[in-house]
Structure 1
Amino acid sequence: MKWLFPRFVTVGLLLLSGCAPERPAAARPVAQTSMVRPALWSVRDDDTTIFLFGTVHVLKPGVQWFDGGVKRAFDGSDELVLEILEPTDPQAMATTMAQAALARDGVKLSDRLSPDLKQRYQAAMAANALPWPMFEAFNPWMAGMALSVQPLEKLGYQAELGAEKTLTEAAKAAGKRVSALETVEQQLGYFAGLPMAQQVKFLDATVDGLPDMDSQFARLIRHWQRGDPERLAEEMNESLEATPELAQVLLIDRNVRWAQWIKRRLAQPGTVFVAVGAGHLAGKGSVQDQLEKIGLGSVRVSQ
């Protein structure tokens, strides 16, 4: 489930979990630039064009994706629409997350876990420089999210290089309107509303997948870079099967709502660039699938 974390996770959790500060730019190794071509789709009627672009929330240095067809589509758009707006106060967002994740029944997180999971969980937190006692007052989804993000920092991925950050800065520089499909509070609610058994299952699946995280995430990024949503969907299947209830909440249900938003937006003239996590535009149940169910077609844009 590491691919499906919403946008707020990469900002709020990195602050909340006390990650080590980034090394100064001079201390970083020089990254070789590689040109990539992520996938892009369009939905059109007589006077409206809506581009659909699948993003990744974190990237390593040296990946050049914002050119070619993606850049042309963005430049020709009047508006950028993201999952959520880039936070103006990340620390305040981290505080909001902590409040949403607080266990109201007073039960410590570790006390909710089986002896085996408790041991593996605490070992995983320690291995990733996450102080597990600090999470004892939270519900399990918060720790699962922290363990989905912190290892990526160690592997060299940076939220500052994520596609949303690049697109937001470019939109502001060009004077484009920037809006969002959801709010931070909505995204937090997806996790906070999960039954406790599903939260524990999510944490267990996350801990279990940590040894393969480097290779798994690298493959996902590679499929994104090559514009190969079919392979991306194949890589996601095992993770989705491990926690199907969370996949329904985080992926399918949101895709249905976003397809309805697109249908409504087609009633207004103009050109819109919609950028959401790439997992939403790949495989069965994708936004494209949901659009087809309501009679709207999407076309892959040639780059």
Structure 2
Amino acid sequence: MIARFAFLLAGALVLAGCEAGGETVENDQLTPSPILYEIADAKGEPQGWLFGTIHALPDGVEWRTADLERVIDQAQLLVVEVGDLSDTRSINSTFTTLATTPGQPDIRTRVDAEDRQQLDEMMAKGHFSSRDFANVETWAAALMLARVSNTGSPRNGADKALLLEFPDHRVRELEGTLTQMRIFDDLAPQDQTDLLTGIIDEYRSLGDNPERLRKAWLSGDEEGLINATQSGIMADPELYEALLAGRNRAWMKEIDDLLADGPNPLIAVGAAHLVGPDGLTTLIEQRGYTLTRLQ
């Protein structure tokens, strides 16, 4: 599950993975080629770039390329999901404010009986007890438990690295931490339960292989990324709409304005947001722009 957050929600991943890190991997013997597009208008004039990020990585993963470095030098503005990923105190404060509601049911009663053994195992691995969730809403409990399976750190996230390349006045955020957290807080109770159950399912099966998804991102494997948006919890229509499709549509008003008026932006968001029928590449092309893949 944490691997999906790595492609979807920057602020939520900072929260979910704030204690993670220390794992080091070699560069998987892959030539780095994360998805990068140039966006041109109807006349063929470049209007900006679209880059698919990953919000967390283990230490030692090399992902920057000559093409990306050139785009960084040329871009006049960086557009990201959350602009201040370094402010973990603020992110955690926002989470605590939204997540806390006294008198929540015991966490073990919020899942089916067949999931309780895995839930207990996850809590033990994360050094949690049921008391830790006594006043925590189900969506927030899901995020807290997601970090149990974390294999990367948000300190190594691609978007965080890009933020270091641009001064604050040349950074624009599409959502911000509060908006991202409210996506979860606004989920219907059943959808929150589905989120928690999905995390447990993926922990149980280990089917959501973070190394596989990380390699898909690193190599620019669009088919692998599309699969990540259609499986696991993302196969749930309500969660797919809330976490992916609805957010893409909401971002397009800002993106429309930026592409129309300049300055030429580098739009760097989770790679899952670029691909598939509801992806930003599709939505931008529907506005009459041409996208040319650079890597």
Q: Give the shorter-chain TM-score range.
A: 0.7 to 0.9
Q: Confirm or deny: 8 A CA contact 1:36 1:63 kept in the other structure.
A: no
Correspondent of 1:217 among 210, 219, 244: 210
Unaligned stretches of 5+ residues in structure 2: none
Structure 1 letter corresponding to 2:133:
F
SS at 1:63's partner residue? coil
Deviation at 1:179, TM superposition (A): 1.7
The alignment status of 1:171 with 2:166, answered yes or no, reads yes
Whole-angstrom CA distance in 1 between matches of 2:240 and 2:109: 26
Given the alignment of the two structures, is residue 267 of structure 1 paired with residue 260 of structure 2, yes or no? yes
Q: Distance in 1 between matches of 2:230 and 2:25?
A: 35
What RMSD in Å do the two structures reach over aligned CA positions?
Answer: 2.6
Alignment of 1:24-173 (within 5 A): 31=26, 35-45=31-41, 49-103=47-101, 106-152=104-150, 155=151, 157-172=152-167
1:100 touches 1:188 (CA, 8 Å); kept in 2? yes
**1:233 is matched with which residue: 226, 232, 235?**
226
Residue aligning to 1:192: 185
1:55 positional shift? 0.6
The more displaced of 57-66 and 117-126 is: 117-126
Aligned-partner residue type, residue 284 of structure 2: L
**What's the CA shift for 1:253?**
0.7
Change (3 A) 1:118 1:14: same
Q: Distance in 2 between matches of 1:62 and 1:187?
A: 28
What is the TM-score normalised by the length of structure 2? 0.87
CA distance in 1, matches of 2:126, 2:105: 24
SS of structure 2 residue aligned to 1:54: strand
Q: How many positions carry a matched residue from both structures?
A: 289
Please list the CA deviations of residues 131-151 of structure 1 after superposition, one character each: whole Å capped at 9, or x if unmatched: 442122111111212232332
**Where in structure 1 are there 5+ consecutive unaligned residues?**
none
Distance 2:235 2:227 in 1: 14
Question: For 1:96 and 1:67, how far apart are their aligned partners in 2?
Answer: 35
| 3-state SS of 1:267 partner | helix
Question: Structure 1's 253 and 297: CA in aligned 2 closer, same or farther, altered over 3 A?
Answer: farther
Distance change (3 Å), C-alpha of 1:240 and 1:229:
farther
Q: Displacement of 1:259 after TM fit?
A: 2.5
